[in-house]
Structure 1
């Protein structure tokens, strides 16, 4: 099992709920086993990330074997049914959870369609053809913020099809928003949540970067930036309601730290797979290529952190998705939307596979363990 869920090589960093401990434990994977490397001074992912050599530290840290990683992965998918086996958590803790939007042309066009449809999925298919005909250019060739992009913007305004999504898709400024609060993300095997008001929604398979407090990119993981198309389509001012709900940010299964064989260049060439399997027998397969991103990962990080905005505990940054599912489900012209119980898997060989089951945010386990709880527990354990 582990061969398909975690990368076959690399230095992995994560968190787990371990029997007998009140607080999450810091873990890695070695020789097919989950290893607890929690230590005083390095009892959080944040502390390790802020060290001089995170990859070197994780690779050499003294640890305790917690058992086969296969058993942990199986128990994580089962919601911790076996109380004697660890469960994986989101691999970050005190970092801010940020996201970039409209960084791929395909998703750019779908955002324009959402806006024009005003959240009505029944209008999406006809609008898709109309908007593509009106735009009449290959936006993938445009460099955001360039002189050519500015000319296209002017032409679109003249034709009456300019959109706030085109502004951040080809304009000079990237869209960066807060996806969730520190400690609010969920990990491998957990339920991901949809706000109950939504009837048109989808997964967003993405790569997420781990970034330190000084803006250094030190690793990456997979993420599902759960999206409510109808809510955001009604108004971009509803972005918070569309994006930040209980269990709406998934990350994992582990952070893979940059080392000699894995770097930001690996991420830029990653091929991201998406599979949705419904209890109704519906199957959707999708594919994204990071090589088609319109803004470099480095530029997105620079737009997030710098002299204009600091993050003392670092951050994780979702890089955006090119995948906007349009495959009909439930009838011709109805497009795609989730059904409860859908199993969503996001994968790429260098980072593994992140799998979650879809539920309502109101039915997912409530978020009750925050930064204050973590710090108190670590203090009691004399790990701070």
Structure 2
């Protein structure tokens, strides 16, 4: 726990915590190992904080109430009920958006899913054939460039062009709605798999916190829970594959961009993944933003601007390099989650996001939406 606390000793971290005594959420920051409530009538929501001219100054100087030590709040990764203080996803009114197919390896895996029609047993043979044809062609390729256009023409000639390659190396990024405002879960919560899925995996990602004017104000970690079999059957099932109860995890805190951490740190960030199963299974994985095919700020510009406004800002998942292909059970079946898997996503400077895998039908139902938030803030005299 000391190492975890030290992660938050340098930098400006903000988030949200559930306060049982207020029967609702509060904005918090980390000060000297303490989780401090900085909610005010002027800044009642994370949306309002990120809209400030200087959110860093507010986080550092606002009067606050110490709620508990960080060690106590993060003492257990088991989901907690409303009677205990616990971290929530650090966003509230922001739209939750995600970019797909932003890394070469994930492009190849999406093509494999498509050609396997969501059947994990067929994936390995297809993987060998597809990788032999397109693997090297996509290495170090800049999306939307003239070189990418030439590779596209060659792959069409080979008969292996795919809609996933189109959004991977073409001029337009894939941007979709991952979840509704307030639907994401946070550190220690259960993450949900739709019960019909039999082939799925975590997706460790960095998530940008973006204000309504398009400025990236900070970064955090996210798990864009992925149902490979559902999307593999048809790209038109993307909504069903991606947006389910507890299928979006974000946290533990947003690290605001300041003199200690900037968008350049995001561009160079490494992410580690650990999956620990109830069956004794362990899988380590990694992703690095250094291999992303589109600059993070280009992804922001493709999401928000004159073509599309988000008056409450947005959280933007930026994709992952990680695509597990190791066999977990039978040879040739590849990896898929088991209920009870503990997923830890970590990155230097951003901390660790820990969640336990459940069925979405077994995760706590999402009941605290925008109406509940507004009524709670009004009851507390914060609106």
TM-score by length of 2: 0.98
2:123 aligns with 124
- Find the residue that maps to 2:75 and give its secondary structure: helix
1:70 counterpart = 2:97: no
1:24 counterpart = 2:41: no
- Find the residue that maps to 2:172 and give its secondary structure: coil
1:364 counterpart = 2:363: yes
1:354 counterpart = 2:350: no
After superposition, the Cα gap between the structure-2 partners of 1:151 and 1:82, relative to the gap in structure 1 and judged at 3 Å, is: closer
2:40 aligns with 39
After superposition, give the CA deviation of every residue in 1:36-87 in whole Å (9 maximum; x if it has no partner).
1111121100011101100110011111111211111125x2322794x511
Displacement of 1:11 after TM fit?
A: 0.7
2:171 aligns with 172
2:80 aligns with 80
Displacement of 1:2 after TM fit?
A: 5.2
After superposition, give the CA deviation of every residue in 1:282-331 in whole Å (9 maximum; x if it has no partner).
00000111110000000000000000000000000000000000111002
1:328 aligns with 327
1:195 aligns with 194
Q: Distance in 2 between matches of 1:71 and 1:117?
A: 46
Matches within 5 A, 1:1-384: 1=1, 3-4=3-4, 6-75=7-76, 77-80=77-80, 83=83, 85-135=84-134, 137-384=136-383
Displacement of 1:135 after TM fit?
A: 2.1
Q: Distance in 2 between matches of 1:7 and 1:42?
A: 22
- Find the residue that maps to 1:138 and give its secondary structure: helix
- Find the residue that maps to 1:177 and give its secondary structure: strand
**Which runs of structure 1 show a deviation greater than 4 angstroms over 4 or more consecutive aligned residues?**
none
After superposition, the Cα gap between the structure-2 partners of 1:177 and 1:378, relative to the gap in structure 1 and judged at 3 Å, is: same
After superposition, the Cα gap between the structure-2 partners of 1:210 and 1:81, relative to the gap in structure 1 and judged at 3 Å, is: closer
Q: Distance in 2 between matches of 1:226 and 1:27?
A: 26
Q: Distance in 2 between matches of 1:292 and 1:136?
A: 14
Work out whether residues 105 and 321 of structure 2, in 8 Å CA contact, stay in contact via their aligned partners in 1. Answer: yes
- Unaligned ranges ≥5, structure 1: none
Q: Distance in 2 between matches of 1:81 and 1:255?
A: 23
Q: Distance in 2 between matches of 1:78 and 1:139?
A: 41
Q: Distance in 1 between matches of 2:159 and 2:173?
A: 22
Q: Distance in 2 between matches of 1:181 and 1:306?
A: 20
Displacement of 1:133 after TM fit?
A: 1.7
Work out whether residues 14 and 256 of structure 2, in 8 Å CA contact, stay in contact via their aligned partners in 1. Answer: yes
TM-score by length of 1: 0.97
Displacement of 1:13 after TM fit?
A: 0.6
Q: Distance in 2 between matches of 1:79 and 1:235?
A: 33
Work out whether residues 2 and 69 of structure 1, in 8 Å CA contact, stay in contact via their aligned partners in 2. Answer: no
Work out whether residues 212 and 309 of structure 2, in 8 Å CA contact, stay in contact via their aligned partners in 1. Answer: yes
- Unaligned ranges ≥5, structure 2: none
- Find the residue that maps to 2:139 and give its secondary structure: helix
Work out whether residues 113 and 128 of structure 1, in 8 Å CA contact, stay in contact via their aligned partners in 2. Answer: yes
RMSD over equivalenced CA pairs, Å: 1.2
Greater Cα offset, 195-204 or 65-74 = 65-74
